[in-house]
Amino acid sequence: MNAISHIVRFAIACFVLTLAACGGGGDDGGGGGTPPAGTVVGAGGGTVVGPNGAKVVIPPGALATDTTINIEETSAGAPALPTGFSASGQMFAFTPHGATFAVPVTMAVPFDPALVPAGSRPTLYKTNAQNQWEQVADVTVNGDSVSAQVTSFSFGTAGVERLAPQREWEFFVEGMIGDP
């Protein structure tokens, strides 16, 4: 009986240690661990919402087959931001990286209005197939989110587009040539 008692106690201790090792993760945003489960989107299209309001709207016909789409707030694996880049929000990974779409999808990322200086406007930047950052054209600003149509997935973040100052020049001619 004594040997069986020790085996039972050992088994219970192993069980308790296994449970303790599996729990306690919480949602501290510290990275690591298993990434969140994605959403399967097929040829009929759909919307996938990520953390903090990041999202992608996939229209019908953009995908030929069912694809698991995920949005995660992370910069892990992203190239360094360009020199002089002024971020106005967090970075997001739209995956699967490199996925391309038959028709453009709408990618949206949040930004912090307090990080957008006067004389500037928020815009969207994403990485391209060469894993380099590029500014996305035709951005729409809606509240604290920027969105634009893209044809592939990668990393995305909101940045600041500095608007060129508007200058006006006026010239006046006084007198005539040859006047004393």
pLDDT for 79: 94
Token pair of 9, please?
Answer: 């106690």
pLDDT for 54: 96
pLDDT for 71: 96
pLDDT for 84: 79
Look at the block and give the residue holding tokens 């920027």: 146
Residue 160 — pLDDT band, cuts 50, 70, 90? confident
139 DSSP assignment: -
> What is the percent of the chain with per-residue pLDDT over 90, rounded to a whole number?
57
Q: Tens of pLDDT along 33-51?
A: 444 568 999 999 999 999 9
In this prediction, residues 135-154 reach a mean pLDDT of 94
Q: Tens of pLDDT along 63-78?
A: 999 999 999 999 999 9
Residue 170 — pLDDT band, cuts 50, 70, 90? confident
pLDDT for 28: 36
pLDDT for 164: 52
pLDDT for 80: 92
pLDDT for 16: 33
Mean pLDDT of the chain: 79
- What is the DSSP annotation of 100-129? EEEEEEEEEEE--GGGS-TTEEEEEEEE-T
Strand order in the sheet with 67-73: 39-41, 67-73, 87-95, 155-162, 120-127, 133-135
pLDDT for 10: 39
Residue 118 — pLDDT band, cuts 50, 70, 90? confident
